[in-house]
Structure 1
Amino acid sequence: MTADPWTLGIIGGTGMLGYAIAHAILKARTIPPDRLWISNRSGRADGFDDHPDITLTTNNQDLAQGCDVILLSVPPAMADRAVRQLFLSAGTMMANAQPTPAEHVQQMIDYAGTTAAGLEDMRRSTIAQDIAKGLDAAIARTRTIGSS
């Protein structure tokens, strides 16, 4: 276990896969039980009686706000809906709220965590130019699709 453990949330954490992952993490002591959140629809913590320090919730928003890492362990149809909601919420937040997206990135960098290290490395790289080249290629191809 690290000196500064992160907090993990498992949406669908009492389903077959989520339960197995959560118990493997607890058994390996990857994170302490008080750094594990489980979200499910029922609000029951079946199978986690030996770990009273786990945070159980039926509110995925609470889990998302309380965790550093989120694992989505739900059936595919539910996952599709959850991912769409995530993008909708993130887009709405970015479009309507302060701080701006650039300010959010700067806050992550100022925090100087793992995300900041990745963002700083990407800023020093040619990733923006590479993405622009890829988008230009996609646009060029789009313009030829109907005309061939």
Structure 2
Amino acid sequence: MTTRIGLVGGSGALGGALSEALLQQKPFADLELWISNRSGAAPELASHKNVNVTSDNQQLVAACDIVILSVPPAQFKALEIEASGKLVMSVMAGITIDDIAKATGATRIVRAMSSPAAAKGLAYSPWVANAEVTPEDRAVVYKIFSAAGKTDELDDEAHLDHFTAMTGPVPGFVAYYAQCMVDHAVKQGIAPDIADRAVRQLFLASGRMLAEEAATPAEQVQAMVDYAGTTAAGLTNMIESDLSEAISEGLLAAAEKAKKMS
């Protein structure tokens, strides 16, 4: 049987990344992909077979078994689609399962968070399902988000607002930390292009090591502190400062913004 998946807003940053992940990773051998956007065209997908593009959101819904909503939250109320009988998945920040049910008529709903890193298979996509979502639905959801990177099912919808803050903005907060390091290096007289290249490489290597090594971030920090070298001196200073509290406050501010988007 053909698996028909529709992405409403499938040409945006996140929708386009999920489209690319599905087309490149091929989690469904029989995939028929539908994209809806304002222009009704997606020339970047012209080379792919079994891709349909439309400006009519309801046409996409009618054609597909699985509908993924990937429009800016502010545009959600203007969608005006009827999706009863469909598995509806949302990657819109702040829009709750109840919001989606009331607006679309859907009863099987998954609310998720992902990021544009999905295009490179590097996203983290946590999701929550309502009671009507079946085991078969869950298997499909897992396939879709596994194509985009790592995924977990959560049991508390409220936690998605925190993941929106933590893992949705890529590179987001990590880029800010990198910026701070580059700025520091430049203040020490290091050429900006060299500082930029050095810090980019540091974050590339650190990301891979954090992803691949068994030790938790906390264990890796402690190992550096125990080594009692130059990094330990810097880490000890940071640990004793209010840096951790400042990071937590920033993440809480982002999560609070997500809650208010509903």
TM-score norm. by structure 1 comes to 0.52
Matched, 1:47 2:48: no
Alpha-carbon spacing, 1:60–1:28, altered in 2? closer, same or farther (3 Å): same
Q: What is the rounded CA distance, in whole Å, between the counterparts of 2:30 and 2:13 in structure 1?
A: 19
Check the 8 A contact 1:33/1:54 in 2, yes or no: no
Matched, 1:26 2:23: yes
User: Which residue in 1 is equivalent to 2:12?
Assistant: 15
User: Which residue in 2 is equivalent to 1:57?
Assistant: 54
Matched, 1:70 2:104: no
- What amino acid does structure 1 have at the position aligned with 2:43? D
Alpha-carbon spacing, 1:12–1:47, altered in 2? closer, same or farther (3 Å): same
Higher RCO, 1 vs 2 (CA within 8 Å, ≥6 residues apart): 1
Alpha-carbon spacing, 1:89–1:8, altered in 2? closer, same or farther (3 Å): closer
Alpha-carbon spacing, 1:40–1:32, altered in 2? closer, same or farther (3 Å): farther
**What's the secondary structure of 2:45's corresponding residue?**
coil
Q: After the TM superposition, list the runs of 4 or more consecutive aligned residues in structure 1 that deviate by more than 4 angstroms.
A: none
Q: What is the rounded CA distance, in whole Å, between the counterparts of 1:16 and 1:88 in structure 2?
A: 23
Structure 2: 5+ residue stretches without partners:
83-101, 107-135, 138-262
Percent identity for Structure 1 against Structure 2: 35
Aligned pairs for 1:1-148 within 5 A:
4-31=1-28, 35-82=32-79, 86=82, 87=102, 90=105, 114=136
Q: Which has the higher strand share?
A: 2
- What amino acid does structure 2 have at the position aligned with 1:26? L
Q: What is the rounded CA distance, in whole Å, between the counterparts of 1:71 and 1:77 in structure 2?
A: 16
Would you say how many aligned residue pairs link Structure 1 and Structure 2?
90
Structure 1: 5+ residue stretches without partners:
92-113, 116-148
Give the deviation of 1:88 after TM superposition. Answer: 5.4
- Cα deviation per residue 1:50-71 (whole Å; 9 max; x = unaligned)? 1143111111111111000000
